[in-house]
Amino acid sequence: MSGKSFDPPGPRAVHLCIDMQRLFSDDGPWPTPWMERVLPVVARLAERAPERTVFSRFMPPHRPEDRPGRWRAYYERWRDATLDRLDPALVDLMPALARLAPPAEVFDKPTYSAFADGRLHRRLSARGCDTVVVSGAETDMCVLATCLGAVDLGYRVIVVTDAVCSSSDEGHDSLLALYASRFSLQIETATCDELLAVWPARDG
């Protein structure tokens, strides 16, 4: 935050953790080298109050032909990442996070944005959520798409800068700069320490 004022997220905020799965670890077809580094930070966020955390999981199709348009071409290229060929355990959350669900929720999505088909928005609306605190992978792919989806729906969006990761250093750095410039009125950034200092556990 670099010293700027930061309002607490409030009691209706939800920690939305994007795609911290074995699929994107060194075991999977799409390794994200930074994941192991940010995993303890993400776990710290989720452990503060698991009941206000939602973990999304990116779910490939069984076969490329199960998806429309350019998604089919994408999975023709990544056929080994389809569920017909993939070890099903790889779609699981990283173990440090999986142990928190429940009470944390798990939300499966077939697209980059967790908000694409309206199901997550309905789920969060039912909880009275007005703010999403975003962590996860990847900064310049699913995290980006989810943040923009949340912005379009009017949520307050807070990206936890040391709890997001990418396989591209350049993409990660560029997106954090973009959030702070072009989207500064709709996307806020904070470190985990800065966030937790003003967002206590509900029982505290």
Identify the DSSP state of 10.
-
Would you state the pLDDT for residue 171? 73
Residue reference for tokens 């993939």: 86
Would you state the pLDDT for residue 5? 60
Give the pTM. 0.93
Q: Where are the domains of the chain?
A: 13-19+35-54+94-198
- Taking CA atoms, 129 is separated from 37, 114, 184, in Å, by 29, 15, 21
Alpha helices in the chain (DSSP H): 35-48, 69-77, 95-98, 119-126, 142-152, 169-181, 192-198
Which of the residues in the chain have pLDDT under 70? 1-5, 202-204
Would you state the pLDDT for residue 2? 45
Three-class DSSP category at 11: coil
Was domain 13-19+35-54+94-198 assigned CATH 3.40.50.300?
A: no
Would you state the pLDDT for residue 4? 53
Q: Residue 21 pairs with which residues in a beta bridge? A: 93
